[in-house]
Structures are given as structure tokens and as C-alpha cells.
Chains A and B, each alone.
Chain A
Amino acid sequence: MSFFTRRLAAACLAVMAAVAPAAAQELELTITAPAGAGGGWDAAARSLQEVMMKTGAAKSVQVVNVPGAGGTVGLAQFAQSAKGAPDQLLVGGITMVGAILTNKAPVNLGDVTPIARLTGDPLVVVVPKDSPHQTLADLTAAIKADVANTIWAGGSAGGADHILAALITQAAGADPSKVNYVAYSGGGEALAAMLGGQVTAGISGYGEWQGQIESGDLRALAISYPEPIEGIAAQPLKAQGVDVELVNWRGVFAGPDISDADKQALGAAIEQTVKSPEWQELLKARGWTDYYAPADEFKAFVESENERVHATLKSIGLAE
């Protein structure tokens, strides 16, 4: 057995040595990613870890994964353990807003302290390349004509993709409670259904389907961002007469009841990180869009998103 433990210890040491460069500041952070390894929140937490340590915004950063239920398990645990803590952050986003409502979670984002909004990615509405729908207008006409036969594919039920499908259906003049949305575990699995021509239209993060859009396997009809984005040919829904916008945002939160000084220190460390060239480089590598907003702006934003998501989920029948 000692052979075991010796090798394990060696492995741990090797990992630690690899991830601990010297840093100037004293901040020793723990970032909770309320999702398993490999997902978007985990990636965001580990990206923050990488850049904060590279730029010296923090002395050490540890990432903890608490997966479960669209992030609500991690949120509940965080709200308890990080109460008043000056060195704890939680990653969250719009999917968590939806999950709190559909799961009737006891803890919501009003219970934690918003620190900063980090990224905001556009969602994209696509059809398979052989689809008869050439434009967004064709698609909305089809929705209006027969909402049940317009089959959508996208990520998890109640998530950002589902909400956008409902908003577009509503804007097209059809009943959002009738939207025929087939939920997949993520954009990847939904992609296979799109390429196989089993569904009418699909919604996912632009980055996830970028390759297929560029190769011509999927036809992008619109993006959900309010303004056009450089390098993306598809135009915003708003510019095409469908008055809907939705941004898949991610941000960081601190625990409940932290002091103003701690809140400012955390905000400053994040600001230093996101303004660094390293962060901009990383955003480009990951295909993320900068959507930084400081604490006060972010707080108001979270509240308005909560109201909007709640209203939409109610119209689909997923929340009360």
C-alpha cells in the first residue's frame, strides 16, 4: 500500500509544481465551479485561475468542482460555506438563473454578492444545409403556420437555448407553450440531430457550432446578440425584425454578507485580470466574447435577467 501512496504523493507534487508560479499579491482565492470538469463553468473557473496567477492578481487560486442540478447544488453549498468570506468566488451564469426557477431551488442569486460579469456569448439560430428555410423570415413564417411541427434542438430544458426558442416563437406570433423543443445534454449532442436532418432548427452557443457554420453544413440564420459581431456573418435577430435578444453570460459571485472592503478587493482583483492582455488572449482562444461589467452594474443586470427568464419559463410552463 505504501507503494500506492508514494506514487500518488509524487503525482500530486508534480501537479502542484506545475500550477504554482510565483505571484506578487497576497490573495489566496478558492473558486467554486458549480459543474463537473469539462463544462463551461469549469472552463471559466480554470481560465480565471490561470490568468489571475499569471498576472499576479492573486497569490494562489484553487478551483473546486461542485457539480449538480444546473449549478444550484454548488450555489446552495457556496451560500453557506462562503458567508462573509473574503477569499471565495463562485462562477455562475444565465443557465443557473433558469435552473433555480425550474428546480425551485431554496437559494437564489439574490442570496450571494455579485462581483463582476465576465463573458457574454451570442447564441445562434441555425437550420441544416438542406433545409427549405433560407432566411429567418422563412423560419418565423413556418413557426406561425405550424408551431408543433417546427422541431427545435438545443441544450438542456429550461436553459438559455430553450428560453431563446420560446422567445422567438412568441415573437413570431405563435403560442410559446406549444413550442416543440427537443432537449439534448448540450450543443454537441444536438449537433448530431441537426446534421442528421431530424429537426427543423437548432440553437446553441455560436462557438460550439462555428466549425459547421463555416464549412457550410449548417446555415446560420441569426445571432441573439443585440448588435452585429465582427467576424460573424449572421445578423442579430433584432436587425431582422424579431425583437428578441439574449446573451449567454457568465459572471462571478462572492458569498453573502461580505464587507465592502472585501467586495472592493475582489472586484479590483477581477478587474485587473480581465483588463490584462492575457485574458483577452484567452477569450480569443476559447471563442468567448468580453462582457465585463463591475459589481453594481452586474447586480442590476442579474435582477433584470431573473425577471425576464422567469416570465419566459412561465410562458413555456416550466416555472410557476
Chain B
Amino acid sequence: MDAFIQLLNGFSIAIAPMNLAFAAIGVLLGTAVGVLPGIGPALTVALLLPATFKLDPGGSLIMFAGIYYGGMYGGSTTAILLNTPGEAASVVTALEGNQMARKGRGGPALATAAIGSFVAALIATIGLAFLAPILVKLAVKFGPWDYFGLMLIAFVTVSATFGSSPLRGLTSLGIGLWLGLIGIDQLTGQTRLAFGVPNLFDGIEVTTLAVGLFAIGEALHVASRHMYAPEKPIPIKGSIWMTRADWARSWKPWLRGAAFGFPIGALPAGGAEIPTFLSYTTERKLAKHPEEFGHGAIEGVAGPEAANNASAAGSLVPLLTLGLPTSATAAVMLAGFQQYNIQPGPLLFVQHADLVWGLIASLFIANVMLLVLNLPMVGLWVQLLKIPLPWLYAGILVFATMGTIAANPSVVELLLLSGFGLLGFLMRRYDYPVAPVIVGLILGPMADSQLRRALQMSLGDPMVLLQHPGSAAMIAIAVIALVAPFVFKGLARFRQDED
């Protein structure tokens, strides 16, 4: 109950009119910068952090929270409307969200993303307030073997879910894993496959790959077809608001997404990507109309967006209790704390209880503010799609390039962007799914380091993966998920033969 009283106290600070105004400014600034393709929330927060320096700690944290949520929402907006995810975690949102937008249902897609984020953040904030001390004790017990097991599950489910056949999914995943090998190996410091190009030493930037495959590939695709069958600007069909059916199809994915996002986000190496992938796969499996997936299923936007936001709140668990930033955004937040001489860690809840609860309350207020300010603007955002296609895609190319250059100013990065754009175009032309490439790039290096860390700790004994119950169970699930479809197919054939 103590936590509850302190949370209320935090609210009483955050709800002061001046602080509400800071929240509103933060949300507006965050959204405005976050909508630039290729600029994710971390970069948005880093760019705008100086704007909060002049305020008192309370006002600054609130504006900060506003910028953060605005940046996240801005990123989803471009992922849905323009198919240009600004960060890895909104890659999945772009899959179904953009298909919805192309069918004239951009309004409901944006709405379900915003409301789903709100619901998930609400649940996760409550979880943060009451479960943080318990969760963190469990999370540090998660060893490298367990992470490896979790990643195997992600690999199997993703390659089976995306694309028209598992083989195509696995091929795309293979390309991603290969791209993931490029750069300095984390465990030995040696470079792999970089051919002496210094810009490749840190590996391929995920946003460059995502923007290249999605946005540039898309623009090339549109251009290649324009001569034969000029596409018309996408008309907005039906209401820009969510219908009753949309609500009915969204609420369960929101809750399930939050259930994936919060605990995995709370793991010290969990991140936001895995829960969005798992949420998408789950929704596809559970959906009444799985055939709609890939053509604009609202569940595929609602679930992953909720998972993304819940994991963002989840990542505050290790940040506030261990001082451990598990994402780029959390690292920037850490800097935000440090400007007030506050070092997050196990003593933070004791020493600076008012600020911590103030931050949690501010995140909440900022989230409400986001909903209040942005839902009415959904109608305005979707007007973007009325722009004639050649103009729209020219604009996308300019903004996608600008976003990439802003994050990493180098010629090599531009060449990579163009190369990935061409790859995305070819993959689309020959019907290979692009999402597994990005999954491979993100999770490949993580699985690589975690497996080798596990082996390093066991002095090279591979049995370590089976000796820990957690990793053994997860590896078993992954193997079953991989083999089961083939076994069932075999059984079905066997029965047919019997008849």
C-alpha cells in the first residue's frame, strides 16, 4: 500500500497546471521529431534532452516523459502511414499497419496503436509500481543459457510465421543472420566480414536496414509499376475512427501484447523487439481470420504496439532498480537522471522515492496527454496519404535519407541504405518476406554472444544449455515448434494412406 500512496503523491505533483503544460509541449515536440522516418524515440529524446535542462527536476522529468511517448507515437505513425519504421520495435507495426493504411483504414490503425499503447502502458505502469522489486530478483537469475533458449523460440516462430512458406521465411532469416555477423565480435573484439571498412565495424545499423528494406524498397516498387498501372492516391474509406468490430478485435491483443511486453522488457537483456515478434505470431495463430494477416489485420497492429509500449515501461524495472539501461532510450533517460545528481540503482527507491514516483506518474500523465492531443489529429495525419503517389514517395525518399544521415552521417551508410533498398525491391518482386531479415540482424548477434557466453562459463561444455531448467524448457519448446508442423503433416498423410 505504501507504493500506492507514493504513486498518488507523484500524481499530485504531475497534475499541476504548469506540469501539464510541460507534458503537452513534450508530446508535441516528441511527435514532431519522431514522425521523421528513421528517427526513433532514442534519437528523439537525445536531440530534445537539452530542451529540458532549464526546468526544475519535476517539470523536466514530465517534459521528458512527454517527449519519449511523443517520439514513440510519432515513430508508429510513420511506420503505419509511410511504411518507414524508425526503430526495430515498430518494424512489426509497419507490416499490418501499412497494409491497413493502403486499404484506406489508416485512421483505425493509428487509433488502435495509440489506444493500445495507452492500455499497455497503464497495465505496465501498475506492474512497475507493484512488481518491480520482485521482478528484478527473478530477472538477474536469467543466465546466458536462458537468453539463448528465448532467442531460439523467437527464430523458429518468426521464420514459420512470415512469408508464404517456411522455406522462404528461413531464407530471409538466413540473410539477416549473415548481415548480423558483420562487425566487431563482442566477445573477442575482432572484426568479422567488414573488409577493412571502418563504418562496418559496429555492424549494420538496424534502422538503416529497416528503412532501406521497407521505405526505399517500397518506393522502388511503386516506381517500377507506375509506368504500367499508375496507382491512385489511397482514398480513405469508412470512418477514420475505430468501429465496434475494430474494438472487439483489438482489446484482447492489447492485453496479450502487454503480457508479452512487460516481463520481457523487464529482463536485463530482453528489449522491445522479441515481445513485438512474439505478439504478432501469437495474434496470427489466435486470429479468427488468419488469412487477413499480411493484408491489414488490425490485431497485427494492436498486439505489437501494446507489446512495444509495455516493454518500454518494463525496461524501467532494471533502470530504476539496478541502474541498468537496457535500451538506447533508457540510456538517455539515465542521462536525464544524472543531470540532477541522481544515480539510479538499488537505493533509488529509498533515497529519491518522490522523484521515482513522480517519473512514473509523469509517464502516465504524458500517455494521457498523448491520447488527448493525438487522437483528434489522426484525421490530419491520414491526409498525408492523399498526396499524389510520386510526390509522396519522393518525400519518403528524402525523409528516409535524412533520418539515416542524422543518425549516422557517413557515405557508407547511404550506400548501405541504397543497397538494402534494392534488396528490398528484389525480395518484394520475388515474394520473400522482409521482416525475418531484420529479425535475423537483431537477434543473430545476441544469440551468438549469449551462446558463447554460456559456453565460456561452462568451460566449453554444451550440456550447460540442458542442465538449467529454464533453458532446457525453452529449447524443447523451440524444437517442438520447429518439428511439430512436419510431424502433423506426416501423420495426416499417413492417415490418408490408411483410408
Contact = CB atoms under 8 A, between A and B. Distances in A.
Contacts of B456: 151, 180, 182
A287 interface: yes
Nearest to B184: A69
Interface stretch (A131-139, A209-217, A221-229, A243-251): A209-217
A157 interface: yes
Interface stretch (B123-131, B222-230, B324-332): B324-332
Contacts of B185: 157
Q: How large is the interface on A (under 10, 10 to 19, 20 to 34, 35 or more residues)?
A: 35 or more
Nearest to B345: A211
Interface stretch (A108-116, A169-177, A186-194): A186-194
A313 to B, nearest CB: 9
A150 to B, nearest CB: 11
A68 B53 contact: no
Contacts of B380: 3
A18 B53 contact: yes
B91 to A, nearest CB: 20
Contacts of A285: 338-341
B412 to A, nearest CB: 10
A312 interface: no
B343 A211 contact: yes
Interface string B406-439: 0011100000000000000000000000000000
B47 interface: yes
Q: How large is the interface on B (under 10, 10 to 19, 20 to 34, 35 or more residues)?
A: 35 or more
A198 B457 contact: yes
A76 B201 CA distance: 13
B202 A1 contact: no
A199 B454 CA distance: 11
Interface string A30-45: 0000001111000100
Contacts of A43: 335, 338
A189 B346 contact: no
Nearest to B328: A38
B395 A1 contact: yes
Interface in B51-84: 51, 53-54
Most buried by B among A72, A188, A199: A188
A187 to B, nearest CB: 9
A160 to B, nearest CB: 13
A1 B144 CA distance: 47
B188 A318 contact: yes
A50 interface: yes
A188 B347 contact: no
A88 interface: no
Contacts of B344: 211
Residues of A contacting B: mostly: helix
B318 interface: yes
Given A37-B43, A207-B343, A284-B341, A68 B202 contact: yes
A144 B143 CA distance: 26
A300 interface: no
B389 interface: no
Contacts of B29: 11, 14
B346 A215 contact: yes
Interface in A275-309: 284-287
A118 to B, nearest CB: 17
A208 B334 CA distance: 11
B348 interface: yes
Nearest to B322: A191
A212 B408 contact: no
B50 interface: yes
B323 interface: yes
A15 B50 contact: yes
Contacts of B331: 37-39
Nearest to B32: A7
B42 interface: yes
Nearest to B201: A69
A228 B320 CA distance: 30
A285 B410 CA distance: 34
29 contacts: A1-B387, A1-B391, A11-B32, A14-B29, A19-B51, A37-B42, A37-B331, A38-B334, A39-B331, A68-B199, A70-B184, A73-B198, A73-B201, A73-B410, A156-B186, A157-B189, A180-B459, A182-B457, A183-B187, A188-B324, A189-B268, A192-B142, A195-B140, A196-B143, A198-B143, A198-B144, A211-B347, A212-B345, A286-B338
The 10 residue pairs across chains A and B that have the minimum distance between CB atoms = A211-B345, A38-B331, A69-B201, A157-B189, A37-B46, A192-B268, A158-B189, A7-B32, A285-B341, A195-B140
Given A68-B201, A196-B143, A214-B347, 13 more contacts: A3-B380, A19-B50, A37-B331, A38-B334, A66-B409, A103-B201, A148-B459, A182-B187, A191-B323, A192-B139, A192-B318, A196-B142, A198-B144
